[in-house]
Amino acid sequence: MTVSPARAKHTLITGVIGSDTHIVGNRILSMALEDAGYQVVALGALTPAEDFIKAAIETAADAIMVSSLYGQGELDCRGFRDLCVEAGLPDILLYVGGNLVVGKQDWEDVERRFLEMGFDRAFPPGTRTGDVIERLDREFAARADGPAR
């Protein structure tokens, strides 16, 4: 993984939302982001939506990365973008990933629902950390080149 000095300028909040205790994948992602040069504030498991937003405000974060593996992510993430807007973070980059819904569902439908909820990106289970980092790099570069969302 290439470490870019530009990455050190960006602070990311990571954590596992709601009543989910599945922390391993989130910890692997947080470590990979740190190794790539990003500043990471890892909130851990069992994190309420409001705690992600509070941490983003306190650290002037550029992105919030929500993880959920127990299948209730769709419920736990409802209204997340609205909470960000209410807190004065209307343009913060929002990523979500993991096993976000109960049962076997078509990923394109799941992704569409999360995008409609205001997330900028939704990643399916098994997404490689390098793919997330590559996407972050492109998003931050695009935001630097033009107006925010």
| 19, part of any domain | yes
| 148, part of any domain | no
| 149, part of any domain | no
Q: What is the pLDDT of residue 2?
A: 66
Distance between CA 81 and CA 83 in Å, rounded?
Answer: 5
| 121, part of any domain | yes
Q: What is the pTM of this model?
A: 0.93
Instruction: Give me the number of domains the chain comprises.
Output: 1
Mean pLDDT within 102-121:
97
| 31, part of any domain | yes
Q: What is the pLDDT of residues 52-68, one digit of tens each?
A: 999 999 999 999 999 99
Cβ(13)–Cβ(55) under 8 Å?
yes
Q: What is the pLDDT of residue 149?
A: 46
Annotation marks residue 120 as catalytic:
no
22 or 145, which is more confident? Answer: 22
Q: Measured on CA atoms in the order 28, 142, 121, 82, is the torsion positive or negative?
A: positive
| 90, part of any domain | yes
Give the domain range for residue 23: 7-134
Q: What is the pLDDT of residues 3-47, one digit of tens each?
A: 777 798 999 999 999 999 999 999 999 999 999 999 999 999 999
Return the structure tokens found at 70. 């127990």
What is the domain-level CATH number for residue 46? 3.40.50.280
Annotation marks residue 20 as catalytic:
yes
Which residue in 10, 20, 62, 120 is the catalytic one?
Answer: 20
| 38, part of any domain | yes
| 140, part of any domain | no
Picking from 119, 142, 137, 147, the residue whose alpha carbon sits closest to that of residue 3 is 137
